[in-house]
Structure 1
Amino acid sequence: MTVPAGTLRTRILNIVDDVTRECLGAIPETSISGRRVARELTAIVARRGKPGMIVSDRACR
């Protein structure tokens, strides 16, 4: 994939309930820090409650 000069790549943090397949969050950013991930997960836990398990899948670049 060729990216035009001056264009930033966009990353998307997708948070999905594996049982219901409901998208709980889709956060587009040019850079996503661990702190941002923690903030998003904390907000989801506050709304939905603590999950029994969290699975992380970092897609290859």
Structure 2
Amino acid sequence: RFGYRRLHVLLKREGYVVNHKKLFRLYREERLAVRRRGGRKRAIGTRAPMTVAMAPNDRWSLDFVSDQLTDGRRFRILTVVDDCTRECLTLVADTSLSGSRVARELDRLIIERGKPKMVVSD
């Protein structure tokens, strides 16, 4: 939307003296535009209504919670909850949780608790 302003700052840093109004006119004449960042990708199509968990291990919900330490470092917590019993099955806190780490924690949980019928995530 205001890409010419950014261009004006960059030109000033390089040492060029350009009137911002003239720069705006040239910017418009050349039909320049700053690329817009893509929005959040959403699921396409209709979703099937989620069944109600009637027994333990019917469905586990997997989610991430994040916060910040007093020194500014961020950390994340992987939470896995049994939807029927509302029991928190595991909490894994770390500054970085990779996909392989999440898979390893789920494998450990399956060995300990048994395999669920379904795992859902937001």
Q: Give RMSD over aligned pairs.
A: 1.6
TM-score by length of 1: 0.79
* Matched positions, count: 54
- Percentage of pairs with the same residue: 56
Query: Per-residue CA shift, 1:12-61, capped at 9, x if unaligned?
Result: 0001101111111111111100001000000010011110000012xxxx
Q: Which has the higher strand share?
A: 2
Gaps of 5+ in 2: 1-67
Which residue identity is paired with 1:36? Answer: R
Larger radius of gyration: 2
- Which has the larger helix fraction? 2
Q: Any gaps of 5 or more consecutive residues in structure 1?
A: none
1:43 is aligned to 108
In structure 1, what is the Cα distance between the partners aligned to 2:118 and 2:104?
17
2:92 partner SS: strand
Q: Secondary structure at the match of 1:50?
A: coil
Greater relative contact order, per chain length (Cα 8 Å cut-off, separation 6+): 1
Which stretches of structure 1, 4 residues or more, deviate above 6 A after TM superposition? Answer: none
